[in-house]
């Protein structure tokens, strides 16, 4: 069943769909949507249970990709560039699988094509239980130091913490289980045919620059950009460098 998603939309021009990280929401893309609005139509959906989208049990990566395609249909968008950061990248791979003809370009930011290890899956299940009993706020202490570079500003830390605390327990637990169950797209990388940018924060400890290099090397013609002084949430930590790299790529690709 395809859900009706809440979304942010701004600007006009070729469509760019921005897929958020876990456990954040479309709000994490505010600085990108604003920066792109004079040339692009930015569309940033909230995954069920995040931002303003109501939670939905058992929402897999594939089902969310279906929701995103239904949203694009409803908005009359035939083709779009997809920009996915971390969990958003996992969704972008599902979009590629379901509807490659609808992707005009792809930006894979601080993400990976490989699935969870068995240990990581067990960790996700423990986290899902903790979230169900105590709320998404239980993730703050463990996640914040991994999401952001050590030098991240107080303002960005507060912003990310507020987004985590604002996520619903149901949606957060469902997303953890969906990430644990996601597919392996590693072998598909050499078959990608749309213009691709791989972007990574130089201090990303979750999806490292080495991971990004390996992924980019397997995608024909992919470009790789490292964002200095940024961790995993590179778009929030260094919006100017991130936006410049993204806009330069989109201007060439679309
Ligand atoms: C994210 O930023 O979306 C998450 O770190 C992804 C993950 O936990 O695999």
pLDDT band, very low/low/confident/very high, at 50 (cuts 50, 70, 90)? very high
Asked whether the predicted pLDDT for residue 1 surpasses 70, the reply is no
In tens, the pLDDT along 57-79 reads 778 999 999 999 999 999 999 99
Q: What is the pLDDT of residue 3?
A: 64
What does pTM read for this prediction?
0.98
Name which residue sits closest to atom 7 of ligand 1, judged by CA. Answer: 87
Q: How would you list the strands of the sheet with 196-201, edge to edge?
A: 7-10, 41-45, 15-19, 80-85, 103-109, 196-201, 223-227
CA 244 to ligand 1 center in whole angstroms: 23
**Mean pLDDT confidence for 133-154:** 97
Q: How confident is the prediction for the chain on average, in pLDDT? A: 97
Residue in 179, 181, 215, 236 to alter for ligand 1 test, most ligand atoms within 8 A of Cβ: 179
Nearest atom of ligand 1 to the alpha carbon of 110: 2
| 68 contacts: CB under 8 Å, gap ≥ 6 | 5, 17, 19, 45, 91, 95
Q: What is the pLDDT of residue 2?
A: 60
Q: What is the pLDDT of residue 236?
A: 98
Q: Which residue has the tokens 């594939």?
A: 62
Six-digit token string for 151? 């030098």
Query: Please, which residues bridge with residue 164 across strands?
Result: none
Six-digit token string for 252? 């060439």
CA 22 to ligand 1 center in whole angstroms: 5
Nearest atom of ligand 1 to the alpha carbon of 116: 9
Q: What is the pLDDT of residue 56?
A: 85
Q: Which residue has the tokens 């090397």?
A: 217
In tens, the pLDDT along 198-224 reads 999 999 999 999 999 999 999 999 999
Asked whether the predicted pLDDT for residue 128 surpasses 80, the reply is yes
Asked whether the predicted pLDDT for residue 243 surpasses 80, the reply is yes
CA 63 to ligand 1 center in whole angstroms: 18
Q: What is the pLDDT of residue 160?
A: 98
Q: What is the distance between the alpha carbons of residues 218 and 95, in angstroms, rounded to a whole number?
A: 19
Six-digit token string for 244? 């410049």
Closest by Cα among 240, 219, 10 to 105:
219
Q: What is the pLDDT of residue 81?
A: 98
Closest by Cα among 13, 17, 89, 19 to 50:
19
Q: What is the pLDDT of residue 57?
A: 77
Six-digit token string for 6? 């809440």
Q: Which residues line ligand 1 (CB under 6 A)?
A: 21-22, 86-87, 179, 206, 232
Cite the DSSP H helix spans in the chain.
Answer: 30-36, 61-74, 87-98, 118-134, 140-147, 154-166, 169-180, 209-218, 234-237, 239-253
């Amino acid at each position: 069943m395809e859900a009706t998603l809440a979304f942010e939309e701004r600007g006009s021009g070729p469509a760019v769909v921005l897929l958020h990280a876990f456990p954040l929401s479309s709000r994490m893309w505010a600085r990108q949507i604003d920066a792109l609005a004079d040339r692009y139509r930015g569309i940033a959906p909230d995954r069920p249970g995040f931002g303003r989208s109501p939670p939905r049990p058992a929402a897999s990566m594939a089902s969310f990709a279906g929701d995103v395609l239904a949203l694009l249909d409803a908005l009359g968008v035939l083709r779009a560039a997809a920009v996915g950061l971390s969990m958003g990248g996992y969704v972008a791979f599902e979009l590629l699988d379901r509807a490659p003809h609808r992707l005009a370009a792809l930006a894979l930011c601080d993400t990976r094509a490989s699935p969870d290890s068995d240990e990581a899956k067990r960790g996700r299940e423990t986290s899902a239980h903790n979230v169900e009993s105590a709320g998404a706020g239980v993730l703050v202490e463990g996640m914040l130091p991994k999401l952001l570079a050590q030098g991240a500003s107080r303002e960005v830390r507060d912003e990310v913490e507020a987004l985590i605390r604002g996520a619903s327990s149901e949606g957060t637990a469902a997303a953890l289980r969906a990430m644990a169950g996601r597919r392996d797209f590693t072998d598909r990388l050499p078959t990608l045919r749309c213009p691709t940018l791989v972007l990574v924060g130089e201090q990303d400890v979750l999806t490292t620059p080495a991971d990004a290099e390996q992924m980019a090397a397997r995608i024909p013609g992919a470009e790789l950009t490292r964002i200095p002084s940024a961790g995993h949430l590179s778009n929030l930590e260094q919006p100017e460098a991130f936006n410049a790299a993204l806009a330069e790529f989109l201007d060439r690709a679309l």
